[in-house]
Amino acid sequence: VNLALTGFWSCLSSLNQSAVESGLSLASDPAGIVNFLDMINNLKGDSGRGYYMQMVIGTPGQTLNILVDTGSSNFAVAAAEHPYITHFYNRALSSTYQSSGRGVAVKYTQGEWEGELGTDRITIPQGPSGTITINIAAILKSEGFFLPGINWQGILGLAYPLLARPDPSVEPFFNSVVGQTGIPDVFSLQMCGAGVSASTTADPAGGSLIMGGVEPTLYRGSVWYTPVLEEWYYQVEVLKLEVGAQNLNLDCKEYNSDKAIVDSGTTLLRLPGNVFSAVVEAIMQTSLIEDFSAGFFEGTKLACWMRGESPWRLFPKISIYLRATNTSQSFRITILPQLYVQPITDIDGTLDCFRFGISPSANALVIGATVMEGFYVIFDRAQKRVGFAVSTCAGKWVQGCVD
């Protein structure tokens, strides 16, 4: 059975029963452990520069912006000066910081850092109430990690202990929050940057990280869940891809041969080489553009139109089919061109320029922020599954609902 997250406007009347039936904590429940309404809009940022949340670290508190990353498991903050950041966490000024004396180094798809492990107390102004003691990596040296134009000074790895460095004994942030506050082992993400120009720095789009459950006002229709195959990354199973209505007809091993993961810290939809080539070929066959520059698809060139001319009608929608928790079923998340053909402000103001939001990957298939911006994504660790529902802030950028 294929159930589809498609057709936003026709499905607004769908009942959001899934979250209620799952027994997750809901904001509308006055007896809930935590008030999710306080967490709405606790993120700022966009897919290009990342989504970040304000946190207060140490005693007395030092306020920093921390990038939200579901593709890693260390909580790490700048602890020394760097040309691309405005301020850093000064351990010497915190009476509650304790060094473990252990070094730590982490490499990401882009960028790396090294530093020293310790613990300190944190509070989250728009998060669960109370003070939490967490493992914290003080970043002392980095390369390609802090970038020009970012407004964050650290990273919050929300994946499982297996990815923690130097080893899984370093308890990740969310495990500590659940253990110390008693909130359910669930968090959910709404990222609202779709359609926002990647060079607009004045007013970042924002979003919400709901810790402890699901906030019903952040999605429409039903939630559809896919199992987490292995608890390290949020690894899921992709069954097939369609471009327009055309099945790529690749063996499903092509999609999952290394791993398929849901990763808010990756900007684009990243596809293994063969899958990427097949998607580009299908887009070129089904799009209304003739002789389109290969540089656009390779990520080396922008495509520009006269201001006010929208290119989105020229491109097909893309559907990713995921295995449902009832393993004989699947469902699809459908991405409109508004999500994967992304606006970039042009210098001279006469053109609207766009970049391709899909890139080739040497290994994993990564459902990154480009895709996640269309959906409210629920990381239900308690029941070992990831849920997708249509995001309320993506109405004009994505079609999605369960038929």
Q: Considering the domain boundaries, does residue 96 fall inside one?
A: yes
Residues 223 and 367 in one domain: yes
Whether 263 sits among the annotated catalytic residues: the reply is yes
Name, of 2-6, 194-198, 200-204, 301-305, the range with top average pLDDT. Answer: 301-305
| Whole-number Å distance between alpha carbons of 125 and 169 | 28
Residues 219 and 70 in one domain: no
What tens digit of pLDDT does each residue of 100-145 get?
999 999 998 889 999 999 999 999 999 998 999 999 999 999 999 9
Looking at residue 396, what is its pLDDT? Answer: 53
Of the candidates 46, 120, 263, 352, the residue annotated as catalytic is 263
394 has a pLDDT exceeding 90? no
| Whole-number Å distance between alpha carbons of 372 and 264 | 7
401 has a pLDDT exceeding 50? no
The reply to whether the predicted model has a pTM over 0.75 is yes
Residues 176 and 224 in one domain: no
Which CATH number characterizes residue 323's domain? 2.40.70.10
Looking at residue 25, what is its pLDDT? Answer: 46
| Residues 162-170, mean pLDDT to the nearest whole number | 97
Q: Which of 183, 216, 239 is where one domain is finished?
A: 183
What tens digit of pLDDT does each residue of 284-295 get?
888 777 667 788
Q: Which of the two residues, 26 and 305, has the higher pLDDT score?
A: 305
The answer to whether the beta carbons of residues 354 and 341 sit under 8 Å apart is yes
- Strand residues in 324-374 grouped as ranges (E): 330-335, 341-345, 351-356, 358-361, 365-367
Question: Can the peptide bond before residue 343 be classed as cis, meaning omega within 30 degrees of 0?
Answer: no
Of the candidates 29, 38, 46, 69, the residue annotated as catalytic is 69
Whether 29 sits among the annotated catalytic residues: the reply is no
Residues 169 and 201 in one domain: no
Q: Which of the two residues, 310 and 252, has the higher pLDDT score?
A: 252
Residues 9 and 59 in one domain: no
Residues 215 and 261 in one domain: yes
Alpha carbon distances (Å) from 379 to 23, 147, 165, 188, 382: 14, 28, 21, 6, 9
Tally of structural domains, the chain? 2
Residues 226 and 264 in one domain: yes
For 139, phi and psi rounded to 5 degrees? -80, 120
In this prediction, residue 395 has a pLDDT band, given cuts at 50, 70 and 90, of low
Looking at residue 24, what is its pLDDT? Answer: 45
